[in-house]
Structure 1
Amino acid sequence: MKSFHYVLASVSALSLLHAEETQTLEASTLTAQSPDLLESIAKSEEQIASLPGGATITDSTDWTGSIVKPEEIFQFDPGVYARSSGTANDTRLSVRGSGIQRRYGSRGISLLVDGMPANHADGSYYFRIFDPLSISYVESYRGANGLAYGGSQLGGAINVVQKNGLSHPGGQLLAEYGSYDSYRTAFQYGGSNEKWDWFAGYTYAESDGYRAHSSWASHQLNTSLGYHWSESALTRISLLFSDSDGLLTGSLTEDQYDDDPQQSSNAGTDLDRDLSTIRIGQRTAWETANGAWQFSTNYQYLDFDHLTTTKGLFFPKFDNLIDYDTDELSLNLRGRQSYSALGLKHTFRSNFDFIYGVNELGGSSAFGAAGIVDRKETSRNLNVYLENTSHLTEQHNLIYGLGYVDSYRKREIRSADSTGLTRFDDSQNGFTWRAGYLFELDEKNQYFANISQSFESAPFSELGNIANPQEAITYEIGTRLAPTNWLSGELTLYYSEVNEEFVYEETGPGTNVYNVTNADTTHQGIELAAHANLTEAFKLAGNTSYSFDLAYQLNDFTFDEGPAKGKDIPVVSKHVISSRITAGDSDGRWKAALSVDWLPDGLVADNNNTLSTPGYALWDLFGEYQVTENLSIYAGVDNLFDKKYVSTVTVNPDTSGTPAYINPGDGRTAYIGAKLVF
């Protein structure tokens, strides 16, 4: 608590030094769209407008509320399914059903930080390493649109663009306090001159958590330093440090959930999941006469400690501790070039990724005679993709591309290891491709169609059980529309035939032991987003402006073979509807937002669809007021009506007894904060 009071006092003192006549909210925010060879929302919008498939930009200036959990970032992205799990700040991310049955960590999406690969070498990733306060905007390239960003998987690619000295000049000091003794403090500062730009941001946050045994704390540091060689060449070096410690609350049975959703099945233990990450990278970008290119190198270190069970009197005989120390290096070359051939204009795009990693595993295990973990895992990924767009006319465009993925996984079992796992030395490789058509009616209205093939190699946790990689053929059609000056949106419909999807199955009735296996599945759905300027639509007078946002997902995922043929694949809700109405002073002095997150169908928890949770609707309220030119205060309430609900479920629980598969969501959460800019 002392940290919060110190920062709040600093905010108050500095506000007195900077207090002036109240001006607009826009004038006091940090966002500025300065020229940047590497990133800008304008460049991202231009790129998305040339793609025949679903893609979305989520601008941090459009966020409302206290953005702490990663799931809150994607609430109005129609293509990303994001829900908090039973561990603090861990979020299940899925695009079109990618990686939905992963029991811990995430896979199925190519994750990038500032355009640089951020997945681990075996394809897995942890989104909790990002500080929402240091994010400028997020790009999601779904399905085939992710191929040019290394996204060979069904889900595509998500690029987290962090703040830098060009995009966010000036300083910011923030202090926030909320329910469950939660607080967050942050400092950021950025700037630039003729040759250099710089940015640094640090955030500390901690909370006791809504549930028992769910306290967590995190430190996050982000820095970048850019050197401008000329008006057409730039190198930027970045550092990301993230350290987050969180206790494990554990899943509940239905009776436990009904009795008290705040209880923990791990109370009285030391079970936790701690993650520390360091990323050091550089990107060099240069423009040519008819194109733009960039080359990046990145080093990533992961220290992951995960205590899952503690020694008992009879069983287990040993603490089950997972201790990962991972070192990884990635290289990337990406670019685009315009040229003319055969009487047509063309745009050529290419992407080359190479990632190499070594994972040293230690710890102890509840399995095996001595319960000792001692092994080494080596991963290597090579991903090459080439794509060409032929501009047949000003309105008609053909897009076609081809890629190749080569993955290598090796597990070495040392003499001290007695977990019973076997060694392997495995390579998986395959092709990706896409063929698309884009019709541009005008600058704001487009229609597209697309067919593509994805390829996903198995990460280490899956590879010990399955033999085949996962592939899918995906068909999609859609549109990006702005039919009036007050309405805009996007709509995509897709259908995927997934071959050999990685899924969990119980080894036998009542065993409560699960293995990953391959199974053919079908994924189909709808991704819809709309934004309406209500003030313009209804010609409202006065100084208050109103807007409305809507995002909708249909996630229809089913098994095509095996005992669960025709059943829904568990974990992801079939319908997800998010809407928000925002009001604000036209001078920017205040704004308020009321939003609702509605999952009418709840969640299915097992492959046979015998366990399910009820649907729910969550209401959130937020308000912000500009006190002076430099100081603003904000407050809000999440889950306004204190709705009891299930956020996520454990994949494939034991359905023969009393399975513990429920991870309750947070109850009513209030917060208040102050933000000073200078």
Structure 2
Amino acid sequence: MKFTKAGFLFVSLTPSLLLADSNENLETTTITAQSPDLLDSIALTEEQIRHLPGTGSIVQIDDLTGRVIKPQDLFEFNPQVYAQSSGTSVDSRLSVRGSGLQRRYGSRGVSLLVDGIPANDADGSFYFRVINPLSIDHINVYPGANGLLYGGSQLGGAINIVQKNGVSDPGAEMTLEYGSFETFRCSVQYGVEQGNWDFFSSYSYQESDGYRDMQNWHSHHFTANLGYLWSDQAQTRFYFLYSDSDAQLAGSLTEDEFHDDPTQSAPGQDPRTDRDLSTIKLSQRTTWGTDKANYAFYTYYQYLDFDHLTGIGVGAFNNLVDYDTDEVGIGFQSENEWQLASTKQILRSNVTYNYGRNEVGGYSGFVPFPGAPVGSNARDDVAANFNLYLENETQFTETDHIFLGAGYVEAKRKRRVEPENDNQTDFDENQGDAVWRVGYLKDLNESNQLFINLSQSFEAAPFSEVVAEVSPQTAQSIEAGSRFQHGFASGQISAYYSQVNDEFIDVEVAPDVYQTTNEDTIHAGLEAYLALDLNDAFNWNSDYQLDFVQSYQLNDFSFDGGQYDGNEIPVVAKHVYAGTLQLTAPDAKWNTAITVDWLPSGIVADNKNTIESDGYNIWKWSLELNVNQHLTLYGGVDNIFDEAYVSSVTVNPSSDAYLSPGDGRAAYLGATLKW
């Protein structure tokens, strides 16, 4: 069953592919280790989609239409991931099933992995902009309980970014691109395989003046990995990642300011206001297997330097946030096939431990009293996490599968503030709870399936959003859906409902003063993907291929009790639709696509539901020309009709300025040379 269509590869992943994130694959009937870098790993993964009692997806970069710069571009046709640009041109608000809804910068509520190795900070937060889209091979998305086997104990599950390597991408490649707003990108990469060794490296530089005043950004990314194949069933791969990005903050606009000129920065915004992020990561992953089992072991170290500069007070300009984080981690995964009364069983496990220390400096919120001098206050945050999860699949018949999983998450959260003050308080506590999943999968026939699962998630408190200790967030969820293929139509649909206990929410504790605390909420939604082969649909006998792909997301998130009972939880649009029509020439000599992104109802900005942005529909066009096997030219126009629209809003704004405009019309041209 394949869902490969124009613009996006959308399939369901099986949790039995424990090593699939490293391009490792298993046979359908027995567990057989393969080389982790087989070139056809995506195709083999597609054969395993029938073993997941829930939804999942693969974003294959080569199948995306148009240029890819932001997370919003990556997940445009993924109904499981909400990604809308916010704050800076290179950042996006990223949420899966309402995870991390009110995060003001960065993301949380999802376990982000790079090549199967955790990439979150120890407190659970992560920054997607440390990843260079040009070095990605594909991305695996495991929403909700489907991410438990990958350490995704939170409400949103797990997202794994699989980078290119010397086996998947041998040879040299250079990409040059230029577009509106003085946007420039240059990337060089090289991969080689020799004997049991392979090596890949990639460097990318990007810069832009941005659509708005004081919205320029630039970034450097360097990645490298070295793999050694010990045997046909064992490999070790070492990884290095360096990322450095600087981005100005143009600030939020009022409705009048937005309608008058969406390209302006917030009046009075200091041009030095920015968010800078530097990351270094070293890691290794070793995998090995037998005919009946597979294993993986990894270790990693990562360092993050995050600075948010802004003006505080009259005539002042200081670090609002200054994070320096060191983290180490270790993990082990296994999968074993066994028999019980002639019934096939597969037992899978995931064990992870990480420890991180965050040295925090800054000004606003960390000072002992108003007007205190810079540097008068500092904070140390320490987080440690242990995650154990076991899951067993029982195949009762050829068409019926039962999944039973259980685990435990223990999280340490410790804060020390010097000197102590009313704004920040010391605390030292352990937070822990069980996670579990019960699932059922029914094969209706070779192309159609039904699935359902019940689960509990757990997320410990994030340091960056709390000024005092808060309870952990848990949720009980149910998911049900279907994967289908009927002639010219293929796709997937899934509905979910989560009763969230003690969600981390900004609550008004004084007039226009908000503080993160715990509130009970309800998260319900629908995720749908549909790919149509229009040649087959209309019986067109043509060498040209016409495909129509659609993605729809319903996000119905509300408060369950408290002062906002029944209100919509702000900052994520309720309805999100994307559609693309792509025409491909014979022998794939060229392809062109027209795409629409539609948010019909806009975005609510506050818990009281008194302010909301307008909805919008944005049209894009792209063209790709394969001149020969070495040279590809591409170009396009985003926001063809230059519509002024709001891509993100400030959570619970303390003023009338809460709108962050999306980019206006932008044209671009690029070329990729391979040899």
Instruction: Indicate the SS of the match to 1:482.
Output: strand
Find the partner of 1:501 among 503, 510, 520: 503
Say which SS state the counterpart of residue 672 (structure 1) adopts. Answer: strand
- Partner residue, 1:600: 600
Question: Alpha-carbon deviation of 1:319?
Answer: 2.2
Residue by residue over 1:357-416, the C-alpha shift from the partner in whole angstroms, topping out at 9 and shown as x without a partner, is 01112244474233433221111011000000000011000001001000001112234x
Q: What residue is the counterpart of 1:350 in the other structure?
A: 349
Q: Which residue of 2 aligns with 1:384?
A: 388
Percentage of identical aligned residues = 50
Kindly state the Cα deviation for residue 519 of structure 1 after the two structures are TM-superposed. 0.9
Task: Measure, in 2, the Cα distance between the counterparts of 1:344 and 1:128.
Answer: 46
Letter in 2 for 1:445: N
Displacement of 1:118: 0.7
1:481 equivalent in structure 2: 484
Any idea what SS the aligned residue of 2:167 has? coil
Shift of 1:641: 0.7
| Shift of residue 487, structure 1, vs aligned partner | 2.0
Paired residue secondary structure (2:287): strand
Q: Which residue identity lines up with residue 376 of structure 1 in the other structure?
A: D
Using the TM superposition, give the Cα deviation of residue 47 of structure 1 relative to its aligned residue in structure 2, in angstroms.
Answer: 4.6
Which whole-Å CA distance do the structure 2 matches of 1:226 and 1:320 have between them?
41
Give 3-state SS (helix, strand or coil) of 2:51's partner. coil
- Counterparts of 1:267-286 in structure 2, within 5 Å, are 267-286=269-288
Deviation digits for residues 102-127 of structure 1, max 9, x if unmatched?
Answer: 11221100110000011100011101
Q: Which has the higher contact order (CA 8 A, sep 6+)?
A: 1
State whether residues 37 and 167 of structure 2, in contact with CA within 8 Å, keep that contact through their aligned partners in structure 1.
no
Aligned pair 1:449/2:452, yes or no?
yes
Change (3 A) 1:318 1:582: closer
Question: Which letter does structure 2 place at the counterpart of 1:444?
Answer: S
For 1:341 and 1:528, locate their aligned partners in 2 and report how far apart those are by CA, in whole Å: 37
CA contact (8 A) 1:119 1:125 kept: yes
Q: Structure 1-normalised TM-score?
A: 0.91
C-alpha distance in structure 2 between counterparts of 1:373 and 1:619, whole Å: 49
CA distance in 1, matches of 2:504, 2:45: 32
- Give the equivalent residue in structure 2 for 1:61: 62
1:667 matched to 2:671: no
Residue 210 of structure 1 aligns to a residue whose secondary structure is: coil
Work out the CA distance in 2 between the residues paired with 1:281 and 1:373.
34
Residue in 2 aligned with 1:421?
Answer: 424
Helix, strand or coil at the partner of 1:507: strand
1:160-171, aligned counterparts within 5 Å? 160-171=161-172
CA distance in 2, matches of 1:47, 1:382: 29
Whether the aligned pair in 2 keeps the contact of 1:567 and 1:608 (CA below 8 Å) is yes
User: What residue is the counterpart of 1:538 in the other structure?
Assistant: 538
Report the residue type matching 1:579 in the other structure: G
In the alignment, which residue of structure 2 is the partner of 1:194? Answer: 195
Query: SS where residue 587 of structure 1 aligns?
Result: helix
Partner residue in 1 for 2:644? 644
CA-to-partner distance for each residue in 1:200-256, whole Å, 9 max, x for gaps? 111100000000000000001111110000011000001111100001111111111
Instruction: Output one character per residue of 1:601-647: Cα deviation in whole Å (capped at 9) or x when no partner.
Output: 01001111110011100111000112233112111001111111100
Q: How far apart, CA to CA, are the structure 1 residues paired with 2:97 and 2:550?
A: 19
| Count of paired positions | 636
Q: CA deviation at 1:420?
A: 4.1
- Which residue does 1:464 correspond to in 2? 467
Q: Distance in 1 between matches of 2:345 and 2:327?
A: 36
What's 1:297 paired with? Answer: 299
Q: Distance in 2 between matches of 1:462 and 1:561?
A: 22
**Greater CA drift, 264-273 or 170-179:** 264-273
Displacement, 1:421?
Answer: 1.5
Counterpart check, 1:571 vs 2:571: yes
Aligned AA for 2:430?
A: S
1:396 alignment partner in structure 2: 400
Any conservation in 1 of the 2:35–2:233 contact (CA below 8 Å)? no
Contact 1:38 1:285 in 2 (8 A): no
Change (3 A) 1:42 1:336: farther
Structure 2 vs 1, CA of residues 465 and 374 (structure 1 numbering), >3 Å: closer, same or farther?
A: closer
CA distance in 1, matches of 2:378, 2:60: 44
Q: SS of 1:561's equivalent? A: coil
Distance of 2:611 and 2:48 partners within structure 1:
43
Q: How far did 1:462 drift?
A: 3.4
Kindly report which structure 2 residues correspond to 1:173-188, keeping only aligned pairs within 5 A, or say none. Answer: 173-188=174-189
8 Å Cα contact 2:310-2:317 kept in structure 1: no
Runs of 5+ in structure 2 lacking a partner? 1-22, 25-33
Alpha-carbon distance between aligned partners in 2 of 1:48 and 1:38, rounded to the nearest angstrom: 19
1:319 alignment partner in structure 2? 318
Counterpart code for 2:247: G
Contact 1:271 1:310 in 2 (8 A): no
Q: Which residue of 2 aligns with 1:113?
A: 114
CA drift at 1:168:
1.3
* Structure 1 pair 571–412 and aligned structure 2 pair: CA distance change class (3 A): same
After the TM superposition, which residues 256-267 of structure 1 pair with which residues of structure 2 at under 5 Å, given as runs?
Answer: 256-265=257-266, 267=269
CA-to-aligned-CA distance 1:542-587 (integer Å, 9 cap, x gap): 3311111110001011111112111111011111110101111121
One-letter amino acid matched to 2:403: I
Preserved CA contact (<8 Å) 1:129 1:242: yes
8 Å contact 1:365–1:373 — kept in the other structure?
A: no
Task: Single out whichever of 40-49 and 220-229 deviates more from structure 2.
Answer: 40-49
Residue type of the partner of 2:215? Answer: S
Alignment correspondent of 1:676 = 673
Q: 2-side partners of 1:432 and 1:346: how far apart? A: 21
Asked if the contact 2:35/2:232 (under 8 Å) is kept, the reply is no
* RMSD between superposed Cα atoms in Å: 1.6
Contact preservation (8 Å) 1:88, 1:247? no
Look up the equivalent residue of 2:324 and give its one-letter code: D
Q: Say whether the 8 Å CA contact 1:465–1:515 is kept in structure 2.
A: no
The equivalent of 2:136 in structure 1 is: 135
TM-aligned CA deviation for residue 48 of structure 1: 3.9
Q: Do the aligned residues in 2 keep the contact of 1:36 with 1:166 (CA within 8 Å)?
A: no
Q: Which amino acid aligns with 2:115?
A: D
Q: In 2, are the aligned partners of 1:439 and 1:446 still within 8 Å (CA)? A: yes
**Uncovered stretches (5+) of structure 1, i.e. residues with no partner:** 1-32
Query: What TM-score do you get using the length of structure 2 for normalisation?
Result: 0.92
Verify: 1:370 aligned to 2:367, yes or no.
no
Secondary structure of residue in 2 paired with 1:601:
coil
Amino acid at match of 1:231: D
Residues 33-72 of structure 1: matches in 2 within 5 Å?
36-37=35-36, 40-72=41-73
1:560-639 aligned at under 5 Å gives the runs 560-639=560-639
Alpha-carbon distance in 2 for matches of 1:598, 1:362: 41
After superposing the two structures, state which structure 1 stretch, 255-264 or 393-402, moved more: 255-264
Q: CA deviation at 1:517?
A: 1.4
Task: Determine the structure 2 residue equivalent to 1:8.
Answer: none
Q: Does 2:554 correspond to 1:550? A: no
Q: Which letter does structure 2 place at the counterpart of 1:677? A: K
Q: Distance in 2 between matches of 1:78 and 1:635?
A: 26
Q: Distance in 2 between matches of 1:283 and 1:258?
A: 51
Does structure 1 retain, via aligned residues, the 8 Å contact 2:233–2:288? yes
Partners of 1:176 and 1:534 in 2: how far apart?
32
